[in-house]
Every structure is written in C-alpha cells, then in structure tokens.
Structure 1
C-alpha cells in the first residue's frame, strides 16, 4: 500500500520552520565558532551530505553548467556569511524581515505593475519606521548587513534557477555549496578550528547544515513539484514571522512594537505581490 504523502503546503511550512530554527541554532554557536566559522561549517557539511546523496555526474557537465554553479556559489557565500554577520547584532526575526526585502524587490522588478508600487510603498514604510526608530534594538550597521544579504538572496533565486535549467536534480547545489565553502574558508577557518579541541561543536554545526540547507531544500523541491509557484511564494512570506518565533523560543529574543509592525508590513507586501501577480 502506498503511504499517503504530506500536503505540499505543509512541506513548505516545515521547510520554513527548519530554516529559521537552523538559524537560531547557528546563533547559539557564534560565541564558540564565530559567525564566519559557523558559516564555513554549514556550507562544507551541507556540500558533503548533498554530494553523497545526489552523486552528481560531474563529467557530463557542460562549461556553462560549471560557470553557473560557480556563480551561484559566490552568491551563496555572500548570502550566508553576511546574514550570519548581521545576526551577531540583530534579532533573528528582524534580520529576516530586512533580508526579505531582497526577494521582494526581485518580485517587484519582474512584475512592473502600478499596483506593485503600493506593495513596495508598504514594505518601504515598514523599513522607514525601523530607520526612524533607530532600528529598535538593532544597530544600523547590522540592518544594512541584513539588507545586503537579502540582495544576495535575490541573486540566489535568479542563479539557482539558471543552474537548475542546466543540471538536472540537486547535484548542482553540492558544487555551489563547495565553491561557497572555499570562498568563506579564509574568513571562517580560525573560528571553525575550534571543533578540533571541542568536537561536540561539530554536532551543532551539522544540525545547522541539516536544518538550514539539506532538509529545507529537500522539502521545498518536493513541494514545488505539487503546488504552483504562486502558492509557494505566498507561504514563503511567512519567513519573517517564523524567524521571530524561532528567535523567541531558542534565543529568547523579544521584538518590540516597531519591529513587529515592520515585520507585518514586509510580510503583507510580499504576500500582496504574490497574490496579485499574473500567472
């Protein structure tokens, strides 16, 4: 008898929870491994696990596929390292809220409709509110890092789609993760070396890799096979809220009224763009 499949929207929600709780766990390792050290271990462990599972047929790759994987690796290195650097001073829920502006801007650029200006204004109002309030409890430098990470996130969306069109399956992701790990190596080697004296830290880093990369990506891939990208986009708009919950439960980070209003504004803008977009 065939086992019943979990509903695709539930898979997306599980992926969102996996990513954000992975980020919260990563933050707990910063004191021991440093933000760059955690980034390096996450990328390296993820690359190894996905390579073992997918066994990419590298000899059959074209030059275009290798170039696409390399470019995606550069973007992933920036996206992960800069976001973790932001997490050093910015609460998780707030960091993801600001980071989410990257994919939102990408959606706005791609649609180019008058209605989208209203959604852009709503998101901008939330960010402006943060600026006027001094970022709540977060420094401006940390918020800027989160925004730059968001721009890298937008690049990740574009270049991962390009790589997916050149390489079947998820084998290309293993190569891109390996490229990203090599690029982060000079910054994170010192911090990551702490696992040599305290191997137990590798357990936490592996948990981060599984939650934030391996499990979440697998769930998203399976969900996208069964639901429209519009539904997927709407569900992904819950990322900032999930981050706030993970930050509260794992890191005991409480957001103030200003931060919550900004979170709701960006989430509503993202959902609005997706809901009103043409098929």
Structure 2
C-alpha cells in the first residue's frame, strides 16, 4: 500500500522549515554583530527583546491576571533567564567568532539532555563535546581566542539550559504563545538597565540603526519561532534535535558570508566535535524511545 503524497511530503517540508529557522537565527545574529560599531551588544539586546516583545504580545495577547501564582513565577523566571541569556550571548559575540560562540552556547542544552539521559552510550557524546570545548578553552588560555568571550558564551549556554527547563514548565501551564510573549516582556525589562541608555544614544547618533536592529528581532525571535512551530508539526522532536545540532555550522556560514570570519584549524575540529555530540544525543534518544510521543521543544533563543 503506497503512502499518501501528503504524508511523504510533510517530513521534507519539515526539514526545509528547520533549516530555514536555523538560518533565520544565525542570519539575525550575524546582522546584529555587524552593527556593533553603531550600537553596543547590550543596547542591541534591549532593542531586539523590546521589539520582539511588542510583536509577540500583539500576536498572543497574554492574560497574566488569569494565571496562577506558580505560573506567574515560572514566567518571570523564564523571562529573566531569557534576558540574561541574550545579554551574555551578544556580549560574547563582541569578543569571539559567531561560530565559536554558538558552539559553546550549545553546550547548555546538550548538558540538559545528557543529565536527563539514562543511557551509558551517552558517555561517548559527553567526551566528544568535552573534547570540543576543551580545544577552544586551550586556545583561550594560549591567547589565540578571547577567554572572557568564551566564558560569556558558556554562561549564555547555562542560561539556555535553564531556558529549556522553564520553557517546558511554562508551555505546559500556558497554552500557545502567551507564556513566551510575557517572558519576552520580562526579558526586555531585564536588559533595560544595561541596554536602554546605549540604545537611546545609538538611535540619536544614527537613527538608521533601528532598521537592522528590527530585522534582528524579526529574524532571531519572531520568524524563527514561527518556522519552528510549523516544522514540529511535520517532523518528530528527535529529528528536530538532530538538525538543531547544525547551529554552529550555520553560524560559521553566516559568519563567513557577512562578517568574513573564517573558521579553520582547531576551531573547525572543536565545532565538528560538538555538532557530532549534539546529533549523537538526539539520535540515541530516538532509538531508545521509538514509540514515545515527541515532546514539544522550546523556541530558539
């Protein structure tokens, strides 16, 4: 019995949507880094979160007054982690290449996946990821790459791990986009003390900077999340996780195309090791639970 054309085509469309989502996030990050000479990382973070919050609230129209106290606390924590993650990530981009920052940040969600794992085979993926991070760390101590930038990226990754856990709680308590949109508002408030003054100064000095800043918000938050939701309706969460491991590769591509950041030598080896580790965790998880219903994944940061 042949498969329906629609059923056959859906996974392919899902893959295209995942790749588009990854590309949207990394293109936005590359554009953001390209305007650091006009607006500081903290200023850009504030503008991005503020604009994304306005758009998301207009779409989702959250009603926090109807939420329970525990839900409100989870949303506040979710937003705080979201704001801190973006501040740390953009601060790291000022010091290290885009692909290296994304690779180190990916360690956060990878750690969350491994902590929740009960498979002995995942030890190999831990060692693989650790080797990749270790290579970058050695370069940091040797001075060939900015060590503080690496620390900031790892801290952003830790926040990403917390973001995943809190996203699951908020997603279970608040339907649709309401929880995320409210968290975006909280994230913008977290970034406000660090980025409001630099953002206002940048806009006064060069009003045109609002254009690319708005594009960053659209690409890295709104559009990317919409593409993710569409993709997850067509492919499993485990398959989605495998493709998400390609984030550093996409970062390397857009870093080269927009920022002339060339990845070679040990950096390329480190990035490849973390990609393999992330994909390996997703693949072994799929094999361990082939009949389990795939859980919803959190949006890209």
Q: TM-score range by the shorter chain?
A: over 0.9
Deviations 1:81-113 (A, max 9, x none): 000000001000011011111111111101032
Deviation at 1:226, TM superposition (A): 2.6
Partner of residue 49, structure 1 = 55
The runs of at least 4 aligned residues of structure 1 exceeding 4 Å deviation read none
Give yes or no for contact 1:32–1:191 (8 Å, CA) kept in 2. Answer: no
Give yes or no for contact 2:137–2:150 (8 Å, CA) kept in 1. Answer: no
Comparing 210-219 with 64-73, which one deviates more in the overlay?
A: 64-73
Partner of residue 177, structure 2 = 170
- SS at structure 1 position matched to 2:234: coil
> Using the alignment, how far apart are the partners of 2:179 and 2:144 within structure 1?
39
Partner of residue 147, structure 2 = 140
Partner of residue 220, structure 1 = 228
Partner of residue 80, structure 2 = 74
Partner of residue 61, structure 1 = 67
Residue 255 (structure 2) aligned to one of 235, 247, 253: 247
Give yes or no for contact 1:102–1:150 (8 Å, CA) kept in 2. Answer: yes
Mark the runs of 5 or more structure 1 residues left unpaired by the alignment: none
**2:96 aligned with 1:90:** yes
**2:38 aligned with 1:32:** yes
Deviation at 1:132, TM superposition (A): 2.7
Partner of residue 158, structure 1 = 165
Partner of residue 293, structure 2 = none
Deviation at 1:117, TM superposition (A): 0.8
> Using the alignment, how far apart are the partners of 1:197 and 1:8 within structure 2?
43
Partner of residue 180, structure 1 = 187
Deviations 1:196-246 (A, max 9, x none): 343211111110000100000111112122321110100100000000001
Comparing 92-101 with 4-13, which one deviates more in the overlay?
A: 4-13
Deviation at 1:137, TM superposition (A): 4.0
Deviations 1:242-263 (A, max 9, x none): 0000100011101121000000
- SS at structure 2 position matched to 1:241: helix
Deviations 1:3-37 (A, max 9, x none): x9771111111000000010001101212110000
Normalised to the residue count of structure 1, the TM-score between the two structures is 0.95
Comparing 218-227 with 77-86, which one deviates more in the overlay?
A: 218-227
Give yes or no for contact 1:100–1:150 (8 Å, CA) kept in 2. Answer: yes
Let me know the Cα RMSD of the aligned residues: 1.7
> Using the alignment, how far apart are the partners of 1:20 and 1:141 within structure 2?
22
Deviation at 1:173, TM superposition (A): 1.1
Partner of residue 24, structure 2 = 18
> Using the alignment, how far apart are the partners of 2:204 and 2:138 within structure 1?
45
> Using the alignment, how far apart are the partners of 1:121 and 1:26 within structure 2?
33
